[in-house]
Structure formats: structure tokens, C-alpha cells
Amino acid sequence: MAASRKVIITCAVTGSIHTPSMSPHLPVTAAEIAEAAIGAAEAGAAIVHLHARKPDTGEPDQSLEAFRPFLGVIKQRVDCVVNITTGGAATMSIEERLAPALHFKPEVASLNMGSMNFGLYPMLERFKDFKHDWERPYLEGSRGRIFRNTFADIETILTRCADNGTRFEIECYDIGHLYTCAHFVDRGLIKPPFFIQSVFGILGGIGPHPEDVMHMKRTADRLFGDAYRWSVLGAGRNQMPIAMQSVLMGGNLRVGLEDSIWAGKGRLAASNAEQVTMARRMVEGLGLEIATPAEAREILSLKGGDQVNF
């Protein structure tokens, strides 16, 4: 009998999209982020994707000092793959965004494949009251702000991290981003197996319709053949339906409070672990198995947790 396909669950723990006022369960301090990541790993996430925040306000923070306290704790307590963002927040420079991945040399770092309009301002229709002065202008500012990821920016991240042995969660928010990835593959700057994270439902990127998901998968198949591993994330209420579709199509999935603060219609997720548990039950309910961290490392050809700088 053929071995069961293993599904990699990634958990994006805190992110920079949602603000603390949107959910009391969003981890903000280093201790909260560490506990959230550990809980997600114990629930079944093979990979945890990490941003950092200022502990007093919850504002996105890409400084080394913000990442250092929770990276060591996570490594000591669980054996999950740690994935550090290079996306940071759209308000940051490329140097700020790159600094943690460059210094800490993680097994995986996220890498956005194109500049885009990244519309967060519709959240202002749902959320009216904010605890901190930065939150409303941050969301409103996305009307006129471009999330910059130029060819030069992408090349900078790829070349400066080349000696770290870090591989990338290649985040593709639209079809053109797959072609940008193919451009860097052709130049030898991205090497197989590629870990393509297709993102659906962000205003400014591809939509969340099932046809959009199939279009992304068909295009990636045509461009990369069997040289890539596919995963998806659906923003907001699209999280679990798109995760289900990916699994049925042979892919992997990402959940977490970065992407959605919900655990059902009108119900806030109490933790990242709750979303991971929901995803795990879905995968196992389909007769499949989730990948362990060791299996994810093998599937993605990662360097190992002993080769990081934290």
C-alpha cells in the first residue's frame, strides 16, 4: 500500500495585518508570541511563521531585539520549523524587513513576489474602536500605500540570505507573482523544491473564488512541474474553505491569527492552536496525515533546526 500523503500545516502566529483592538487573543508581547507558537506546534503545526510587535502598543516591530526573546524560547520547547518574515509591514524599508532573517538565519523565511496594493482599510467598516493611536491611521493608510517588493528588493533578499542556507516561503498574491518566481528560478536564485504559498482574498490580490484557487494551482503546475510544493492561505472567513480545497487538490495549508482572527461565523478564535486543531481535524477527517516537523524538513529540503542562529 502506498504511503499516505503528508500535509504540512503552517501557522502564522501574529502578523502585521490585524491590530490588537480587533481581537483580545492576538499575541503581542514576546511571551505571548512564544506561547502561541508553542501551542500551535503542539497542536500540529510543522512550521510557525513569525512577526514581532512592540509589547506596549502591538505595533509591528522588525528589530532584532523584538524577535530575540521568543525565538530562543520556541526553539527550546518545541521542534517546529521557524519561519521568519521578510514582509514585516508595508510601512517598513527593505533593510528593516530583511534584518531578522539575515541575522537569525532561520530554516525558512517568507518572501513576497511583487509590489501590490494591499488594502486593509475595509476592516474599518467592521472595527470602530481602537486602543492605540497608530491602528486607525495604519489601516486607513493602506488606501494610498503600496506594499513594495520590487525586482531589486526580491533579489536583495535572495542574494543576501544565500549563504544562510535559508529557504523561502514564496508568497504569491496573484498570478503575476508566479511568473516573477519563475524569473528568479531561471536566474538560479531560487532553487527547488520551491515552497509556493498562494494567498487568496487580500484586497489588491487574487480573489478567494474556487476558480481563483484552481487557476493559481494550474499556473504553478505549468511553470514548475514537480519542482515545487504548494500551500495556500485564505484571508479572513476564506481561511478554512480554501485550506480544504488545497488539501483536496494535493496541497498544504496555512492558518493562524495573522491571516484570520475567526474560528467560525462571528466567533473569534481563542488561539492559534484552535485554528491548527480545526485544520488538523479536517485533514485527518479526509483520511490523510499531517506532516511532523521532521517530515516537513525532508519534504522542503530544509537545513535543520541546529543550523540557525538562535
Confidence (pLDDT) at 229? 98
pLDDT of residue 50: 98
Task: Answer whether residue 245 is part of any domain.
Answer: yes
**What pLDDT score was predicted for residue 2?**
46
Beta-ladder partners of 273: none
Retrieve residue 225's grid coordinates.
512541474
Q: DSSP assignment of 227-287, as one string? A: SEEEEEEE-GGGHHHHHHHHHHTT-EEEESTTT--BSSTT-B-S-HHHHHHHHHHHHHHTT
Q: How many domains does the chain have?
A: 1
Q: Classify residue 70: in a domain, yes or no.
A: yes
State residue 24 phi and psi, 5-degree precision: -70, -10
pLDDT given for residue 4 in this prediction:
75
Q: Torsions phi, psi of 26, nearest 5? A: -70, 120
Provide the residue count of the chain.
Answer: 310
CATH code of the domain containing 17? 3.20.20.70
Give me 123's grid cell.
476592516
CA distances from 143 to 18, 65, 97, 140, 237 (A): 16, 31, 21, 6, 22
**Residue range of the domain that includes 86:** 6-307
pLDDT value at residue 1: 39
Is position 175 within any domain? yes
Mean pLDDT of successive 10-residue stretches along the chain, which has 310 residues: 80 97 98 98 98 98 98 98 97 97 98 98 96 98 98 98 96 98 98 97 98 98 98 97 98 98 96 98 97 98 98
Evaluate whether residue 33 is within a structural domain: yes
- Taking residue 34's Cβ as centre, other Cβ atoms within 10 Å add up to 23
In a domain, 180, yes or no: yes
Cell of 128: 470602530
Is 259 within the bounds of a domain? yes
Residue 139 located in a structural domain: yes
Alpha-carbon span 54 to 158, nearest angstrom: 27
Residue at 1 is within a domain: no
3-state SS, one letter per residue, for 122-169:
HHHHCCCCCCCCCHHHHHHHHHCCEECCCHHHHHHHHHHCHHHCCEEE
